[in-house]
Amino acid sequence: MIYLDHAATTPLSEVAWRAMEPYLRERFGNPSEPHAAGRAARAGLDEARVSVAATLGCAPAELVFTGGGSEADNLAVLGRLRDGGRVVASAIEHPAVREPLRAYRGEVAWAPVGADGVIDLVALGALVRPGDALCCVMAANNVTGALQPVDAIAELCAERDVPLHVDAVQAASGSDVRALPGRATLALAAHKLGGPKGVGALAGPGVRDLPAVVLGGGQEHGLRPGTENVAGAAALAAALHERQGPEAVAERRARAARRDRLEQAVGVPSAAHSAARLPGHALLLAGVRGDVVVHQLDGAGICVAAGSACAAGSTEPSYVLSAMGIDAAAARGAVRVTLGPETTDADVDAFVAAFTGARTGLLRAVGSVA
């Protein structure tokens, strides 16, 4: 099997497994208990919190471990909107941010993006007002991989004293991710980094004054009650340190070079290709039904995705691509190929051959996107 769907989830890395293994059996205690088993677990949880905070550049008190990226997004969004208020968000937010906002009964202003999938800073600046309850902008889009200008946006929001929430779940897999100034929060998920599923984090100065929306205990500064996942936190810390360390820079360059070679070889358009992107992301506009291409590649032992895995099962065009001005027929032909640190040149060559064969056969059979 050739796995080229790292944007959906990643294989568990050796460093993450080694970090979590002791807390699955030997140090299994509840970290809220004062006895020896509890103290051993608490020590591991504290160590993980210090490590993640140091990697992100925030204080340990500004970090909450969660059950994943979607939960972190919901805690940040719903917490800020608990007392109402106006919200500004980009039109390409992940469903974990987009859906809570769509369900919100208050005012939501959606900021547009350009044809490259990057938010329009001028338009955003005109939309964000002092007194707004929240601004939401993801660091890197999960569909296209396009990086967003979060530093400039954080500065804008800080100047207007507007809390900013950044979904950095996808970004942390292939770009530098740091805590931001002002009342900002940042969401992460371990399984996008070589860590396990079911653990994430919400970090940044905005954690300190974030209202709670989940009640039931005092864990995680009262924002995420429940017995903490110490093994998961340890694995997240190890995986994040590995992906954000200086040794990862060369790996990202190599991954981007493989991605570029793949795009050149397949000879079809790639969405957001003119933008700065995550190094492993290629969203190919195949010109035939993307879901059919994905099915044929699966039969050849190659795992890729049609558009976003978070919208699996839907045949509707991605709202992200629609926001970029890509028409519905072209958007239905989107095939998302995402490389990881483990991807080899041979994997890329095998994909190119299989993709080209599948697309050629489909074009002969149907002539265009159905």
CATH number of the structural domain spanning residue 47: 3.40.640.10
Q: Which of 156-160, 212-216, 311-315 has the lowest mean pLDDT?
A: 311-315
Contact status, residue 72 vs residue 187, Cβ threshold 8 Å? yes
One domain, residues 258 and 194: no
351 and 215 share a domain? no
Q: Residue 15 pLDDT > 50, yes or no?
A: yes
User: What's the structural domain count of the chain?
Assistant: 2
Same domain, 187 and 323: no
Residue 167 parent element (H or E): strand 164-167
* 72 and 210 inside one domain: yes
- Looking at the structure, do residues 157 and 269 belong to the same domain, yes or no? no
The residues with which 150 forms a beta bridge, in sequence order, are none
Residues 142 and 41 in one domain: yes
CA gap 222, 219 in Å, rounded: 5
* Helix, strand, coil fractions of the chain, as percent rounded to 5: 45, 15, 40
Which of 228, 244, 260 is the C-terminal boundary of a domain?
244
pLDDT averaged over every residue in the chain? 94
pLDDT above 50 (res 194): yes
For 47-79, what is each residue's pLDDT tens digit? 999 999 999 999 999 999 999 999 999 999 999
> How large is the average pLDDT for residues 305-316?
63
User: Do 107 and 193 reside in the same domain of the chain?
Assistant: yes
Mean pLDDT calculated for residue range 283-296? 95
Same domain, 150 and 132: yes
Q: What's at 194, amino acid-wise?
A: G
Give percent of the chain with pLDDT exceeding 70. Answer: 96
Report d(CA 39, CA 234) in Å as an integer. Answer: 15
Q: Are residues 21 and 127 in the same domain?
A: yes
- Six-digit token pair at 289? 């039904």
**Confidence class for position 39, pLDDT limits 50, 70, 90:** very high
For position 313, what pLDDT does the model report? 54
- pLDDT (0 to 100) of residue 217: 84
Q: What is the pLDDT of residues 226-269, one digit of tens each?
A: 999 999 999 999 999 999 999 899 999 999 999 999 999 999 99
Asked which of 15-19, 32-36, 46-50, 145-149 is least confident by mean pLDDT, the reply is 32-36
Q: Residue 370: pLDDT above 50? A: no
Structural domain boundaries enclosing 20: 14-244
Residues 226 and 324 in one domain: no
| Domain final position from 188, 213, 244 | 244
Residue 314: pLDDT band (50, 70, 90) is low
> Which class for 368: exposed (0-12), middle (13-18), buried (19 or more C-beta within 10 A)?
exposed
Q: Are residues 196 and 291 in the same domain?
A: no
- pLDDT at residue 268, rounded to an integer: 96
Give the CATH number of the domain where residue 337 resides: 3.90.1150.10
Question: Are 219 and 310 contained in the same domain?
Answer: no
Overall average pLDDT of the 175-186 stretch: 94
- Annotated catalytic residues are 310
Q: Residue 236 is inside which H or E element, if any? A: helix 230-244
Query: Which structure tokens are listed for 192?
Result: 């996008």
Place of tokens 């890509």: 326
Looking at residue 369, its pLDDT comes to: 44
Distance from chain centroid for Cα 21? 25
Q: Which of 227, 244, 261 is the last residue of a domain?
A: 244
User: What Å distances lie between residue 247 and 195, 227, 312, 319, CA to CA?
Assistant: 18, 34, 34, 36
